[in-house]
Chains A and B, each alone.
Chain A
Amino acid sequence: MSDNSNVDDKSLSLAKELVVALEANESDKANHLISAIAEHNDAGIFKEVGKITRGLHDKLVSFESDLGVSDIDESEIHDAKLRLSYVIEKTSEAADQTLTIIESFMPSIDRQGKESESLINEWQKFTGKELSADEFRCLAKRVTDYLNESNALNADYKAGLNEIIVAQGFQDITGQIIKKVINLVQEVEDSLVRVIKCTGGEKSTRKITSSIDELEGPVVPSLKTNEFVSNQDEVDDLLSSLGF
């Protein structure tokens, strides 16, 4: 920076004048000189703000340069997009799974509902001694079929309801992913706040530290590396290799 020597000379001469003014007890002049020195330094701060703003801008637009404004880099923004896409995928998967199971139950629930209604009528006729022997044999067979079907369906319903319960796990997985993206947004905000602080004349020396959790959270398939296991079998293999 070619301006540097001039800047220093000017600072020095202002400082000397300030000492003289203070020794002569000329407080008005001294205050004026202090303001002059401060303004002089502000010029440097504005230059710095310009650099940081440019740096942040370049980063947000191209994700290519790393000027030390923050720890956010291209891959984190890209990761955030993939994470959010994964949230859409998981929520739609859970909704589809739940609806498919419910839809598969509907026909048998309808059929059984109608059959039980009809059986109640027939049973009332039977208790009122309105049924012939043949009609009763027919009713007995229908009751047997109904009970057998109910029994079989009960197991299906229970299995399906358990699948629906497990499908709700999407809320935990997607919640964790969204928390991570919120942290990233927070980091971008912190960087912008730092720029605003600089333009306010207060040069922040605070290092922007990553607020992203140390823990990795749920694995998003498109972001997976071989540092991660991809399923329960791999967990089991790893643990058994450790003597589990």
Chain B
Amino acid sequence: MNKDMKILVVDDFSTMRRIIKNLLRDLGFNNTHEADDGNTALPMLQSGHYDFLVTDWNMPGMQGIDLLRAVRADPNMATLPVLLVTAESKKDQIVMAAEAGVNGYIVKPFTAATLEEKIKKIFERIEASK
């Protein structure tokens, strides 16, 4: 796993963005950027050559699930690893995210260990499939 990879953290709550950025920094990832909803995130992703997207689901403007779908529909970003970190814990929604092509799903509130484990798993899978 490349610790210098460029990561975009998308959440409408700035506190949550700070929490995720701090946890990522603790895991050795320092190249993190922020957006407050899908509408802000999408152009950043299109032009910014990101390696990893961590997004909330429920946001004003464009929601996380729609951002995920937009990413998957764009040939340049279709394989971008996406981790949803959300308070949405309805089974139907988890299934919906899986169908939309999410790489990992974390329910809030979560621990630093969960975040680390899911990120590791996502990149192990990607390595294995290469």
Contacts and interface: CB of A to CB of B under 8 A. Distances in A.
Interface of A: 158, 162, 165-166, 168-173, 175-176, 213, 215-219, 227-232, 235, 238-239, 242, 244
Interface string B64-96: 000000000000000000000001111111110
A173 B89 contact: no
Contacts of B111: 166
Interface in B78-129: 87-95, 98, 105-112, 114
Contacts of B5: none
Given A172-B87, A232-B110, A215 B58 contact: yes
Contact of B87 (A162, A173, A230): A173
Closest 6 CB pairs of A and B: A218-B87, A171-B15, A172-B16, A172-B13, A215-B58, A169-B109
20 contacts: A165-B23, A166-B19, A166-B109, A168-B15, A168-B18, A169-B109, A170-B109, A172-B15, A172-B19, A218-B87, A227-B90, A229-B94, A232-B107, A235-B89, A235-B94, A235-B105, A238-B95, A239-B94, A239-B98, A242-B98
Given A227-B92, A228-B89, A242-B95, A171 B23 contact: no
Contacts of A173: 87, 108-109
Nearest to A162: B112
Contacts of B22: 162, 165
Contacts of B19: 165-166, 168-169, 172
A229 B107 contact: yes
B98 A228 contact: no
B107 A217 contact: no
Interface magnitude class on chain B: 20 to 34
Given A169-B19, A230-B89, A162 B26 contact: yes
A235 B88 contact: no
Contacts of B108: 169, 172-173, 218
Contact of A216 (B26, B90, B114): B90
Interface string B28-66: 000000000000000000000000000001100001000
A186 to B, nearest CB: 15
Nearest to A243: B98
A163 B98 CA distance: 29
B26 to A, nearest CB: 6
Contacts of B26: 158, 162
B86 to A, nearest CB: 9
Given A228-B90, A238-B91, A244 B109 contact: no
Given A165-B22, A168-B19, A235-B106, A229 B89 contact: yes
Most buried by A among B15, B18, B107: B107
A232 B109 CA distance: 9
Nearest to A159: B112
Most buried by A among B26, B89, B95: B89
Contacts of B114: 232
A70 to B, nearest CB: 24
B118 to A, nearest CB: 9
Most buried by B among A162, A169, A173, A213: A169
A165 B27 CA distance: 14
Contacts of B18: 165, 168
